[in-house]
């Protein structure tokens, strides 16, 4: 038995907000005095994004973590239900047929969680199994997909993975108590957006339409660089630590990891028909393209998602896969590689094949 990704659904909070409006309406004042901030915003590769909490209208930078978590619950539940319902419809599946619901998020926590609330509100069976994948960061969709695929193969029942991230809840104060501006915060505020994306994973190839076979999941963690990317729970929400060395570490690992994965299946980089690379930022994408010697247009889907959605943490790589699907990639019988990066410093990759 093999697991196949056979349905996609997504939901976005509020209307699209332009990067220019975010800068002019809030962040230009928020980072007033930091002459590099505007350059960082304009070079982030983001044109529009969605925000459950639009900073132009509502400044949450001094909210307590408790206030942010209460807002997370209010915003996340309807988004999660919308995304999962759309994915089930896309796969031709009824809610009570789902055997496992896995929820992935690093931007909010509540118990009873979204897994219980979404399952109950959509009419999933009382015996549906649930899994929560928390605080892994931008790569977490792939281990979430791996857990769902393992369940599907072992049990022969469908699974759903929901990645839901509300990064807009975690706008930080412009400077610390000593007046120091952390440029990593400027970068994260320039990049991140909000999204909910769900995928359905089925046992065996779907009959109604093609699906993506989950061939293998692979991971690599460089523990010596663990301090290069962090996501700390503070009294004022969750705070990102981001080193400019991240692309350099990625450059060291991405080529051997990808070539080893492909070699295990008798393939080379030239055999890959579609690349779904997490757009952690323009430098991340250019590093991957350079190290893998990819064609000029190979990462167009990643660049397009970055421009129109921003970096939506765990949900982003699924947005890129859906964008590729809309262009007919990967083609029937051909392979796709999805990869994402995050704290650890960790690379997660999945090899997929279009049925």
Residue 3: DSSP 8-state = E
Could you say which architecture CATH assigns to the domain 3-203? 3-Layer(aba) Sandwich (3.40)
Distance CA 331, CA 301 (A): 15
Superfamily for the 212-354 domain: Thiolase/Chalcone synthase (3.40.47.10)
Distance CA 269, CA 322 (A): 21
Confidence (pLDDT) at 355: 87
Query: Confidence band (pLDDT; 50, 70, 90) for 35?
Result: confident
Tens digit of pLDDT for each residue in 62-83? 999 999 999 999 999 999 999 9
Show me where the domains of the chain are located: 3-203, 212-354
pLDDT at 273 over 80: yes
Class of residue 326 by CB neighbours under 10 A (exposed 0-12, middle 13-18, buried 19+): exposed
**Whole-model pTM above 0.85?**
yes
Helix or strand (DSSP H, E) at 308 = helix 300-309
Tens digit of pLDDT for each residue in 98-107? 999 999 999 9
Tens digit of pLDDT for each residue in 288-345? 999 999 999 999 999 999 999 999 999 999 999 999 999 999 999 999 999 999 999 9
Query: Confidence band (pLDDT; 50, 70, 90) for 33?
Result: confident
Confidence (pLDDT) at 177: 67
Q: Lowest-confidence range among 44-48, 172-176, 188-192?
A: 172-176
Confidence (pLDDT) at 1: 82
Confidence (pLDDT) at 193: 98
Residue 54: DSSP 8-state = -
Under a CB-based contact definition with an 8 Å cutoff, are residues 31 and 174 in contact? Answer: yes
Asked whether the domain spanning 212-354 has the same topology as the one spanning 3-203, the reply is yes
Active site residue 106: no
Query: Confidence band (pLDDT; 50, 70, 90) for 55?
Result: very high
């Amino acid at each position: 038995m093999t697991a196949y990704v056979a349905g996609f659904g997504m939901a976005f909070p509020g209307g699209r907000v332009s990067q220019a409006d975010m800068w002019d309406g809030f962040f230009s004042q928020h980072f007033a005095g930091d002459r590099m901030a505007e350059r960082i915003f304009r070079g982030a590769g983001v044109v529009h994004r969605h925000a459950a909490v639009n900073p132009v209208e509502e400044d949450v930078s001094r909210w307590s973590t408790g206030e942010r978590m209460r807002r997370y619950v209010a915003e996340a539940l309807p988004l999660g239900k919308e995304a999962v319902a759309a994915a089930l419809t896309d796969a031709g599946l009824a809610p009570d047929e789902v055997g496992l619901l896995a929820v992935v998020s690093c931007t909010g926590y509540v118990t009873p969680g979204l897994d219980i609330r979404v399952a109950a509100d959509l009419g999933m069976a009382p015996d549906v199994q649930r899994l929560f994948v928390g605080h892994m960061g931008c790569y977490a969709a792939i281990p979430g997909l791996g857990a769902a695929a393992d369940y599907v193969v072992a049990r022969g029942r469908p699974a759903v993975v929901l990645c839901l991230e509300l990064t807009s809840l975690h706008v930080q104060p412009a400077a610390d108590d000593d007046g120091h501006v952390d440029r990593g915060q400027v970068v994260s505020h320039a990049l991140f957006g909000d999204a909910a994306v769900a995928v359905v994973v089925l046992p065996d190839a779907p009959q109604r339409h093609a699906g993506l076979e989950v061939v293998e999941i692979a991971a690599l963690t460089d523990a010596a660089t663990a301090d290069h990317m962090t996501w700390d729970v503070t009294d004022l929400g969750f705070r990102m630590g981001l080193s400019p060395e991240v692309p350099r570490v990625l450059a060291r690992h991405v080529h051997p990891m990808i070539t080893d994965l492909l070699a295990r299946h008798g393939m080379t980089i030239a055999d890959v028909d579609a690349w779904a690379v997490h757009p952690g930022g323009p430098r991340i994408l250019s590093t991957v393209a350079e190290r893998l010697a990819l064609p000029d247009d190979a990462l167009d889907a990643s660049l397009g998602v970055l421009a129109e959605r921003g970096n939506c943490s765990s949900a982003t790589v699924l947005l890129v896969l859906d964008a590729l699907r809309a262009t007919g990639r990967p083609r029937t019988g051909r392979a796709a590689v999805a990869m994402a990066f995050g704290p650890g410093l960790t690379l997660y990759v999945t090899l997929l094949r279009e049925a």
